[in-house]
Amino acid sequence: MAGRPSIPTINSALIAIIADEDTVTGFLLAGVGNVDLRKKTNYLIIDNKTTVKQIEDAFKEFTTREDIAIVLISQYVANMIRFLVDSYNRPVPAILEIPSKDHPYDPAHDSVLSRVKYLFSAESVASDRR
Amino acid sequence: MAAATEEQPASTGSVPRVEEVEKVHETTEGERLERDDDDDEILRFMDSVDGYLLLMDSLSSALRQGWLDLASARHSMGTSRVSSTLFDHKEQSAATKLQVIDSADMQSSEPNPHFVLSKWHLEEKPSSNDSVSAQDTKPTLRFRGSATTPEDGSHQSDAALAESLAGVDTSSHVQRARSKALSVYGALVSPKLRTAQISFETALEVIVELANSRSNMLASFSQIKDE
């Protein structure tokens, strides 16, 4: 359609991670870790000392960086900043809520599925699966 | 004769009626095609939602396996040897990256990015017909010796040998890159740490598919919403 915004091609984009230590460790083993000249990383490890403000700042930073194409965030962390995650609606970077060790994935809280859920019946897919 | 005369006024009066019927048919046909397009879009949307949920299950399995292997590695190597305190904070570029392409779906008003994973950043690989898919293939893809038909004789075996050598180079490059990622935890690491690495690489592949599925879902959704 005319007026459809186009997405610039990015040839080497990064994957950012906001998750617990084990998840970040695992993805760093897979070669995703990046540290730039200013010692800024593309990941944030969440532990019991991490504040909501730190999570919000990291989320805002990762979603505004032009070299990041996907932001992985543990769903239980996304629940802490749910308003921020649900109000995000840009195509890139894509926000993906992933499960964590102690918190399995819940489709009812997924921001992407929440956006499209009104197309389903009142008994949503999530409740049927549970 | 009477039948012929009776037929004549019927034939002259039927021309406008035929045109009206044709118009009605065209309108009905157009509405039918539009409904078919709507149905196609709805089916595409439902497929993408189903695909998204299935991929999420797949991701959960891959991550669970990775966490289990990581816990086993930590148990055998010691907690202090597998810890985030060992992360290297020196300047380094990620070895696994993404390529983002606009899929140029003109029917949708929503942008539809397509993500392609580039594992272990194989920069030395010679350009092939599809350099993006070449980067995306599993590094263990190798052709051994004369597995191809012998019809072309030496030419075929030369091609197979070249591909085999390229495969070996790719594989050794990937192994070196993997070892470099593991070297943060010492020279000798538990085999469980290596399997954890593979599990998380698998999880990354699923994540990229999830991102594409998400894009398709949102594009279909915006298409349906606009109609």
Among partner residues A3, A32, A36, which is closest to B96 by beta-carbon distance?
A: A32
What whole-number distance in Å separates Cα of residue B224 and Cα of residue B227?
A: 5
Angle at A51 between CA A29 and CA B83, to 5 degrees: 25
**pLDDT band with cut points at 50, 70 and 90 for residue A117:** confident
The H or E element containing residue A83 is helix A82-86
The pLDDT of residue A85 is 95
pLDDT tens string B49-96: 999 999 999 999 999 999 999 999 999 998 888 888 888 888 888 889
What is the pLDDT at residue B105? 58
β pairing state of B97-102 and A43-46: unpaired
Task: Scan for tokens 């979603």, then name that residue.
Answer: A63
Q: What is the DSSP string of B120-143?
A: T--TTSPP-SSHHHHHHS-TT---
When scoring A7, A25, A124 by the number of chain B Cβ atoms within 10 A, the one with the most, hence best to mutate, is A25
pLDDT at B4: 46
Please say if the pLDDT value at position B149 is more than 50. Answer: no
pLDDT of residue A30: 95
Q: Does A6 touch chain B (CB under 8 A)?
A: yes
pLDDT on residue B151:
45
Cβ contact, residue pair A115, B218, below 8 Å: yes
Question: B223 near B34, Cβ under 8 Å?
Answer: no
**Percent of chain A whose pLDDT exceeds 90:** 73
Cβ-contact B181, B189 below 8 angstroms: no
Does B86 contact A at CB distance below 8 Å? no
Q: pLDDT band at B33, cuts 50/70/90?
A: confident
- Tell me the average pLDDT across A94-119: 90
Task: Tell me the pLDDT band of A1, cut-offs 50, 70 and 90.
Answer: very low
Question: Which residues does chain B have within 8 Å of residue A105's beta carbon, measured at their own beta carbons?
Answer: 56, 59-60
Query: Given the structure tokens 């730039």, which residue do they identify?
Result: A36
Q: What pLDDT score was predicted for residue A51?
A: 96
Distance, in Å, from the CA atom of B135 to the CA atom of B101, rounded to the nearest integer, reads 15
Main-chain dihedrals φ then ψ at residue A86, nearest 5 degrees: -70, -25
pLDDT at A53: 96
Query: How confident is the model at residue B161, as a pLDDT?
Result: 55
Tell me, yes or no, if B115 comes closer than 8 A to chain A by beta carbon: yes
Q: Do A21 and B84 touch (CB under 8 A)?
A: yes
| Alpha-carbon distance values, A104 to A20, A45, A87, A122, B68 (Å) | 13, 18, 23, 23, 15
Is B99 a residue whose pLDDT tops 60? Answer: yes
Alpha carbons A104 and B67: distance in angstroms, whole number: 13
Give the model's pLDDT for residue A130: 44
User: Which residues, including other chains, have CB under 8 Å from residue B59's CB and lie 6 or more apart?
Assistant: A98, A99, A105, B203, B206, B207, B210
Average pLDDT of the segment spanning A90-109? 93
Is residue A74 within 8 A of residue A22, CB to CB? The reply is: no
Q: Kindly report the backbone phi and psi dihedral angles of residue B93, in degrees, each rounded to the nearest multiple of 5, phi listed first.
A: -100, 145
CA dihedral sign, ordered A129, A110, B203, B187: negative
pTM over 0.90: no
**How many CB atoms are located within 10 Å of the residue B105 CB?**
18
Task: Give the count of beta carbons closer than 10 Å to the beta carbon of residue B150.
Answer: 9
- CB contact, 8 Å: B53 with chain A? yes
* Whether residue B129 has pLDDT greater than 90: no
- Measured between beta carbons, which residues in chain B are less than 8 angstroms from residue A25? 70, 82, 84
List of residues 6+ apart from B159 with CB closer than 8 A: B148
Q: Which residues are CB-neighbours of A108 under 8 A, at least 6 positions away?
A: A124, A126, A127
What pLDDT is attached to residue B106? Answer: 55
- Confirm if A35 and B92 have CB atoms less than 8 A apart: yes
Cα–Cα distance for residue pair B66/A23, rounded to 1 Å? 9
Rounded to the nearest integer, the mean pLDDT of chain B is: 75
- Categorize the per-residue pLDDT at B41 as very low, low, confident or very high, splitting at 50, 70 and 90: confident
Q: Per-residue DSSP letters for B149-209?
A: -GGGTHHHHHHHHHHHHHHHHHHHHHHHHHHHHHGGG-SS--HHHHHHHHHHHHHHHHHHH
| Contacting residues of A for B99, CB less than 8 Å apart | 9-13
Per DSSP, the three-state class of B13 is helix
Chain B residues close to A70, C-beta within 8 Å: 98, 115, 207-208, 211
Q: What is the pLDDT of residues A37-89, one digit of tens each?
A: 999 999 999 999 999 999 999 999 999 999 999 999 999 999 999 999 999 98
Query: Of A3, A5, A29, which is closest to B182 when you measure between CB atoms?
Result: A29
Summarize the confidence of residues B102-109 as an average pLDDT: 65
Contact check, Cβ <8 Å, B200/A6 = no
Does the pLDDT value for residue B45 go beyond 80? yes
Contact A12/B99 with Cβ under 8 angstroms? yes
Give the residue-averaged pLDDT of B163-172: 60
Q: What is the pLDDT of residue B26?
A: 67
CB-based contact, A59 to chain B, within 8 Å:
no
* Chain B CB within 8 Å of residue A61 CB: no
Taking the CA of residue A32 and the nearest CA in chain B, the distance in Å comes to 5
Q: How many CB pairs under 8 A join A and B?
A: 179
**For range B122-149, the mean pLDDT:** 45
Residue B111 sits at the chain A interface (C-beta within 8 Å): yes
Whether the predicted interface score ipTM is above 0.95: no
Lowest pLDDT segment from A61-65, B8-12, B164-168, B192-196: B8-12
What DSSP letter does each residue of B40-105 carry, written as one string?
A: HHHHHHHHHHHHHHHHHHHHHHHHHHHHHHHHHHHHHH-GGGSSGGG---S-B--SSEEEEEE---
pLDDT at B159 over 60: no
- Looking at per-residue confidence, does A96 or A1 come out higher? A96
> Is residue B203 pLDDT above 60, yes or no?
yes
A106 interfaces chain B, CB cutoff of 8 Å:
no
Q: Which residues in chain A have Cβ-Cβ distances shorter than 8 Å to B178?
A: 31
- The pLDDT assigned to B168 comes to 55
